[in-house]
Amino acid sequence: MPGKVTRRAALQGITAVVVGAVTGEGAYGYFHGRLALGLTRATLPVSGLPDALDGLRVGLLTDLHRSEAVPYDLAASAVRLLLDERPDLVVLGGDYVTWGDRAFVEPAAEALAPLMAPFGVFAVLGNHDDERPMSAALSARGIQVLLDARTRLAIRGEALQLAGIRFWTRRVDEIARVVGTDAVTTVLVAHDPRRLREAAELDVPLVLSGHTHGGQIVLPLVGAPAARKFPVLAGTARRENTTLFVSRGVGTVYLPVRLNCRPEVAVLTLKKQGRV
Protein backbone atom coordinates (compact mmCIF):
# COMPACT_ATOMS: atom_id res chain seq x y z
CA MET A 1 0.00 0.00 0.00
CA PRO A 2 1.30 3.51 -0.80
CA GLY A 3 2.77 5.22 2.24
CA LYS A 4 3.00 2.03 4.31
CA VAL A 5 6.44 1.30 5.79
CA THR A 6 7.11 -2.44 6.02
CA ARG A 7 9.24 -4.11 8.70
CA ARG A 8 11.80 -4.96 6.03
CA ALA A 9 11.98 -1.39 4.78
CA ALA A 10 12.31 -0.08 8.32
CA LEU A 11 15.10 -2.53 9.08
CA GLN A 12 16.91 -1.66 5.89
CA GLY A 13 16.60 2.03 6.70
CA ILE A 14 17.93 1.60 10.22
CA THR A 15 20.76 -0.56 8.97
CA ALA A 16 21.72 2.03 6.35
CA VAL A 17 21.84 4.74 8.99
CA VAL A 18 23.89 2.59 11.35
CA VAL A 19 26.37 1.49 8.73
CA GLY A 20 26.67 5.02 7.40
CA ALA A 21 27.19 6.51 10.85
CA VAL A 22 29.78 4.18 12.30
CA THR A 23 33.42 3.72 11.39
CA GLY A 24 34.89 1.25 8.94
CA GLU A 25 34.99 -1.24 11.80
CA GLY A 26 31.25 -0.91 12.17
CA ALA A 27 30.72 -1.58 8.48
CA TYR A 28 32.97 -4.62 8.82
CA GLY A 29 30.84 -5.77 11.75
CA TYR A 30 27.74 -5.59 9.61
CA PHE A 31 29.01 -7.03 6.35
CA HIS A 32 31.33 -9.65 7.81
CA GLY A 33 31.56 -9.79 11.61
CA ARG A 34 27.98 -10.86 12.26
CA LEU A 35 28.27 -13.65 9.70
CA ALA A 36 31.75 -14.94 10.61
CA LEU A 37 30.47 -18.01 12.42
CA GLY A 38 33.05 -20.07 14.25
CA LEU A 39 33.33 -23.25 16.29
CA THR A 40 34.57 -23.09 19.87
CA ARG A 41 35.92 -26.19 21.58
CA ALA A 42 36.38 -26.00 25.33
CA THR A 43 37.10 -28.40 28.18
CA LEU A 44 35.06 -27.76 31.32
CA PRO A 45 35.97 -28.95 34.82
CA VAL A 46 32.92 -30.51 36.49
CA SER A 47 33.02 -31.18 40.21
CA GLY A 48 32.20 -34.76 41.14
CA LEU A 49 31.73 -35.92 37.55
CA PRO A 50 31.54 -39.74 37.46
CA ASP A 51 34.37 -41.49 35.65
CA ALA A 52 31.96 -42.81 33.02
CA LEU A 53 30.94 -39.26 32.05
CA ASP A 54 34.51 -37.96 31.85
CA GLY A 55 34.99 -36.85 28.26
CA LEU A 56 31.28 -36.43 27.48
CA ARG A 57 30.87 -33.91 24.65
CA VAL A 58 28.00 -31.42 24.76
CA GLY A 59 27.05 -29.25 21.80
CA LEU A 60 25.74 -25.79 22.72
CA LEU A 61 23.87 -23.53 20.31
CA THR A 62 22.13 -20.43 21.60
CA ASP A 63 20.73 -17.00 20.70
CA LEU A 64 19.84 -17.82 17.12
CA HIS A 65 17.63 -14.67 16.97
CA ARG A 66 16.21 -15.70 13.62
CA SER A 67 14.88 -12.52 12.01
CA GLU A 68 15.24 -10.42 8.90
CA ALA A 69 18.70 -9.51 10.17
CA VAL A 70 19.72 -13.13 10.88
CA PRO A 71 19.37 -15.13 7.66
CA TYR A 72 18.47 -18.76 7.27
CA ASP A 73 21.92 -19.53 5.88
CA LEU A 74 23.58 -18.47 9.13
CA ALA A 75 21.22 -20.67 11.16
CA ALA A 76 21.78 -23.61 8.80
CA SER A 77 25.56 -23.16 9.00
CA ALA A 78 25.41 -23.26 12.80
CA VAL A 79 23.50 -26.52 12.69
CA ARG A 80 25.93 -28.06 10.19
CA LEU A 81 28.94 -27.05 12.28
CA LEU A 82 27.47 -28.75 15.31
CA LEU A 83 26.43 -31.89 13.44
CA ASP A 84 29.91 -32.25 11.96
CA GLU A 85 31.33 -32.41 15.51
CA ARG A 86 29.06 -35.35 16.48
CA PRO A 87 28.47 -34.33 20.12
CA ASP A 88 27.00 -36.83 22.57
CA LEU A 89 24.08 -34.52 23.31
CA VAL A 90 22.94 -31.07 22.18
CA VAL A 91 21.69 -28.19 24.32
CA LEU A 92 19.89 -25.15 22.92
CA GLY A 93 20.10 -22.05 25.11
CA GLY A 94 17.12 -19.89 24.07
CA ASP A 95 16.28 -16.73 22.10
CA TYR A 96 15.45 -18.47 18.83
CA VAL A 97 13.65 -15.36 17.55
CA THR A 98 13.70 -11.66 18.44
CA TRP A 99 10.95 -9.94 20.44
CA GLY A 100 8.75 -13.02 20.12
CA ASP A 101 8.27 -12.43 16.38
CA ARG A 102 5.88 -15.23 15.41
CA ALA A 103 6.74 -14.89 11.74
CA PHE A 104 10.10 -16.51 12.51
CA VAL A 105 9.05 -19.14 15.07
CA GLU A 106 8.52 -21.89 12.50
CA PRO A 107 11.56 -20.91 10.38
CA ALA A 108 13.76 -20.94 13.49
CA ALA A 109 12.50 -24.34 14.58
CA GLU A 110 12.83 -25.72 11.05
CA ALA A 111 16.45 -24.57 10.86
CA LEU A 112 17.16 -26.45 14.11
CA ALA A 113 15.23 -29.56 13.11
CA PRO A 114 18.21 -31.49 11.63
CA LEU A 115 20.02 -31.46 14.99
CA MET A 116 20.50 -34.90 16.49
CA ALA A 117 22.74 -36.59 19.03
CA PRO A 118 22.93 -40.05 20.63
CA PHE A 119 21.51 -38.81 23.95
CA GLY A 120 19.09 -36.25 22.57
CA VAL A 121 18.51 -32.57 21.86
CA PHE A 122 17.22 -30.35 24.68
CA ALA A 123 16.22 -26.70 24.86
CA VAL A 124 15.30 -23.88 27.19
CA LEU A 125 13.65 -20.62 26.19
CA GLY A 126 15.07 -17.12 26.41
CA ASN A 127 13.58 -13.75 27.22
CA HIS A 128 12.75 -13.14 23.53
CA ASP A 129 10.78 -16.37 23.11
CA ASP A 130 7.00 -16.52 23.31
CA GLU A 131 6.55 -19.66 25.40
CA ARG A 132 3.65 -21.48 23.77
CA PRO A 133 4.39 -21.16 20.04
CA MET A 134 8.15 -21.58 20.43
CA SER A 135 7.83 -24.62 22.68
CA ALA A 136 5.31 -26.19 20.32
CA ALA A 137 7.47 -25.58 17.25
CA LEU A 138 10.57 -27.09 18.86
CA SER A 139 8.68 -30.05 20.33
CA ALA A 140 7.19 -30.81 16.93
CA ARG A 141 10.76 -31.28 15.66
CA GLY A 142 11.66 -33.77 18.40
CA ILE A 143 13.45 -31.26 20.62
CA GLN A 144 12.63 -31.62 24.32
CA VAL A 145 11.92 -28.24 25.89
CA LEU A 146 12.68 -27.92 29.60
CA LEU A 147 10.42 -25.27 31.12
CA ASP A 148 11.33 -25.30 34.79
CA ALA A 149 11.74 -29.03 34.38
CA ARG A 150 14.41 -31.69 34.62
CA THR A 151 15.11 -34.93 32.83
CA ARG A 152 17.47 -37.78 33.65
CA LEU A 153 19.66 -39.41 31.03
CA ALA A 154 21.36 -42.79 31.32
CA ILE A 155 24.81 -42.45 29.75
CA ARG A 156 27.44 -45.19 29.91
CA GLY A 157 25.78 -46.69 32.96
CA GLU A 158 25.67 -43.38 34.86
CA ALA A 159 22.90 -40.85 35.41
CA LEU A 160 23.17 -37.26 34.15
CA GLN A 161 20.40 -34.81 34.96
CA LEU A 162 19.57 -31.82 32.77
CA ALA A 163 17.56 -29.09 34.49
CA GLY A 164 16.22 -26.21 32.43
CA ILE A 165 14.79 -22.99 33.85
CA ARG A 166 12.77 -20.12 32.41
CA PHE A 167 14.44 -16.74 32.10
CA TRP A 168 12.27 -15.36 34.90
CA THR A 169 13.00 -18.23 37.29
CA ARG A 170 15.61 -16.57 39.47
CA ARG A 171 15.17 -17.26 43.18
CA VAL A 172 17.18 -19.99 44.86
CA ASP A 173 14.07 -21.73 46.13
CA GLU A 174 12.52 -21.74 42.63
CA ILE A 175 15.65 -23.19 41.05
CA ALA A 176 16.00 -25.71 43.87
CA ARG A 177 12.55 -27.12 43.05
CA VAL A 178 13.61 -27.61 39.43
CA VAL A 179 16.95 -29.19 40.29
CA GLY A 180 15.48 -31.51 42.94
CA THR A 181 17.30 -33.28 45.74
CA ASP A 182 18.58 -36.45 44.10
CA ALA A 183 22.32 -37.03 44.40
CA VAL A 184 23.03 -37.08 40.67
CA THR A 185 25.33 -34.97 38.48
CA THR A 186 23.25 -32.04 37.26
CA VAL A 187 23.73 -29.62 34.38
CA LEU A 188 21.64 -26.47 34.77
CA VAL A 189 20.67 -24.85 31.47
CA ALA A 190 19.87 -21.21 32.20
CA HIS A 191 19.60 -18.65 29.42
CA ASP A 192 20.90 -15.94 31.75
CA PRO A 193 24.45 -16.53 33.13
CA ARG A 194 23.60 -14.49 36.22
CA ARG A 195 22.13 -17.69 37.60
CA LEU A 196 25.69 -18.74 38.47
CA ARG A 197 25.25 -17.34 41.97
CA GLU A 198 22.13 -19.40 42.69
CA ALA A 199 23.63 -22.51 41.10
CA ALA A 200 26.72 -22.23 43.30
CA GLU A 201 24.53 -21.86 46.37
CA LEU A 202 22.76 -25.07 45.36
CA ASP A 203 26.08 -26.81 44.60
CA VAL A 204 25.13 -27.46 40.96
CA PRO A 205 28.38 -28.45 39.23
CA LEU A 206 27.76 -27.01 35.74
CA VAL A 207 25.71 -24.18 34.20
CA LEU A 208 25.33 -23.59 30.44
CA SER A 209 24.12 -20.18 29.29
CA GLY A 210 23.90 -17.64 26.48
CA HIS A 211 22.03 -14.30 26.49
CA THR A 212 25.11 -12.03 26.46
CA HIS A 213 26.07 -12.42 22.77
CA GLY A 214 29.60 -12.08 24.16
CA GLY A 215 28.87 -8.37 24.33
CA GLN A 216 28.16 -8.35 20.56
CA ILE A 217 29.97 -5.02 20.19
CA VAL A 218 33.36 -5.04 21.89
CA LEU A 219 35.11 -1.71 21.44
CA PRO A 220 38.90 -1.31 21.39
CA LEU A 221 40.24 -0.02 24.71
CA VAL A 222 36.70 0.21 26.09
CA GLY A 223 35.44 -3.36 25.94
CA ALA A 224 31.79 -4.32 25.89
CA PRO A 225 29.23 -1.93 27.41
CA ALA A 226 27.28 -4.90 28.78
CA ALA A 227 30.23 -6.44 30.62
CA ARG A 228 29.39 -5.25 34.13
CA LYS A 229 26.03 -7.03 34.20
CA PHE A 230 27.33 -10.57 33.96
CA PRO A 231 29.85 -12.83 35.72
CA VAL A 232 31.49 -13.35 32.32
CA LEU A 233 30.44 -12.34 28.82
CA ALA A 234 31.80 -15.42 27.07
CA GLY A 235 33.69 -18.55 27.98
CA THR A 236 34.13 -19.95 31.46
CA ALA A 237 33.76 -18.72 35.00
CA ARG A 238 33.97 -20.56 38.30
CA ARG A 239 32.28 -20.00 41.65
CA GLU A 240 32.96 -22.48 44.45
CA ASN A 241 32.14 -25.93 43.01
CA THR A 242 30.21 -24.55 40.02
CA THR A 243 31.55 -24.06 36.50
CA LEU A 244 29.76 -21.73 34.08
CA PHE A 245 30.12 -21.63 30.31
CA VAL A 246 28.61 -18.74 28.34
CA SER A 247 28.33 -18.92 24.56
CA ARG A 248 28.52 -15.82 22.37
CA GLY A 249 25.60 -17.24 20.41
CA VAL A 250 24.76 -17.07 16.72
CA GLY A 251 22.55 -14.05 16.03
CA THR A 252 22.33 -10.36 16.85
CA VAL A 253 19.81 -8.09 18.53
CA TYR A 254 19.22 -4.31 18.51
CA LEU A 255 21.86 -3.74 15.84
CA PRO A 256 22.81 -6.26 13.12
CA VAL A 257 26.50 -5.79 13.90
CA ARG A 258 29.22 -7.74 15.69
CA LEU A 259 32.54 -6.14 16.50
CA ASN A 260 35.46 -8.16 17.87
CA CYS A 261 32.93 -10.78 18.90
CA ARG A 262 32.27 -13.39 16.24
CA PRO A 263 29.22 -15.67 16.48
CA GLU A 264 29.82 -19.23 17.59
CA VAL A 265 28.56 -22.68 18.32
CA ALA A 266 30.41 -24.57 21.03
CA VAL A 267 31.40 -28.14 21.74
CA LEU A 268 32.17 -28.66 25.41
CA THR A 269 34.09 -31.64 26.77
CA LEU A 270 33.31 -32.42 30.42
CA LYS A 271 36.24 -33.38 32.63
CA LYS A 272 36.21 -34.63 36.20
CA GLN A 273 37.42 -32.24 38.88
CA GLY A 274 37.68 -32.59 42.61
CA ARG A 275 35.44 -30.59 44.90
CA VAL A 276 36.54 -27.59 46.93
* Residue 125 CA neighbour count, 13 Å, CB half: 27
If pLDDT is split at 50, 70 and 90, which confidence band does 29 have?
low
* pLDDT at residue 6 in the model: 58
If pLDDT is split at 50, 70 and 90, which confidence band does 8 have?
low
Tell me what the pLDDT averaged over the chain comes to: 90
Domain boundaries of the chain, sorted by first residue: 7-273
Task: Please name the residues in contact with 268: beta carbons below 8 A apart, sequence gap of 6 or more.
Answer: 41, 42, 43, 44, 57, 58, 59, 60, 208, 245
Q: Is it true that domain 7-273 has CATH number 3.60.21.10?
A: yes
Is residue 276 over pLDDT 50? yes
Q: Which tens digit of pLDDT belongs to each residue from 32-48?
A: 568 889 999 999 999 99
* pLDDT at residue 31 in the model: 46
